[in-house]
Amino acid sequence: MEHKLDQQTLSQILSVTEQLIKEMGCQQTTLQMIMDRTGLSKGAIYHYVKSKDELFGKILESYMTAVNHQFHEAVKQSVDSDIRPAIQAIVSSMAERGVSNSIFIYLLSQQHKPNIAAILKELRRSLMELTETWIMIGQEHGAIPAHVDVKVFASMFVTLSYGLRVSQMIADDQYTPQMQDIFRFMVTAFQK
């Protein structure tokens, strides 16, 4: 049976994979387990991804897409150009523990493999692009000073978010308040 490339099937594959990672961890999650739970053949899954690692990268991409959607929805609902709720949407999503952090750490541990290095590079490029957009919107709304160098600020933000992901994996506390304070500090530092 031939499977069409459709969003519903891809969403099913991603959802099942996320659940398996929650249950088993990244290392122990296998393509066979994904096939068993989805009822899809290996060939059908390979229509969407070339490997388990690429599938993990797609989960992180879908996570970034969801965060971006939350940000833009919060901007649309902002009152008097106050985009603090939009910034809070980003910060809150970063504070969540879970599958995305596990995948990120797993992929980092495998970065010596060329295919995984390429996945990580593309994920960083995408996150930088999203972050730059968020910063420019913040500048348009006056939440971030107009003179702030978007690329430098985005790079700092991405670097910080990566560090906080790693910290979150090994620490027992939530870092939402810390992230908010750090973001305010970064904006304040750029105001001078």
Half-sphere exposure of 74 (CA within 13 A, CB side): 22
Where residue 132 sits, what CATH number does that domain have?
1.10.357.10
Q: Is the pLDDT of residue 3 over 50?
A: no
Q: What global pTM score does this model have? A: 0.83
Output Rg (C-alpha) for the chain, integer angstroms: 18
Is residue 42 domain-shared with residue 61, that is, in the same domain? no
Per-residue confidence at 186, pLDDT binned at 50, 70, 90?
low
* pLDDT tens column, 34-48: 999 999 999 999 999
Is residue 21 domain-shared with residue 66, that is, in the same domain? no
Share of the chain above pLDDT 70, in %: 81
Is residue 139 domain-shared with residue 72, that is, in the same domain? yes
* pLDDT tens column, 14-41: 999 999 999 999 999 999 999 999 999 9
Question: What's the number of domains the chain is made of?
Answer: 2
The encoded tokens of residue 85 equal 């709720």
Is residue 21 domain-shared with residue 74, that is, in the same domain? no
Range of the domain at 86: 57-190
Written in H, E and C, the secondary structure of 75-90 is: HHCCCCCCCHHHHHHH
The encoded tokens of residue 19 equal 């659940």
Residue type, 28: Q
Half-sphere exposure of 55 (CA within 13 A, CB side): 27
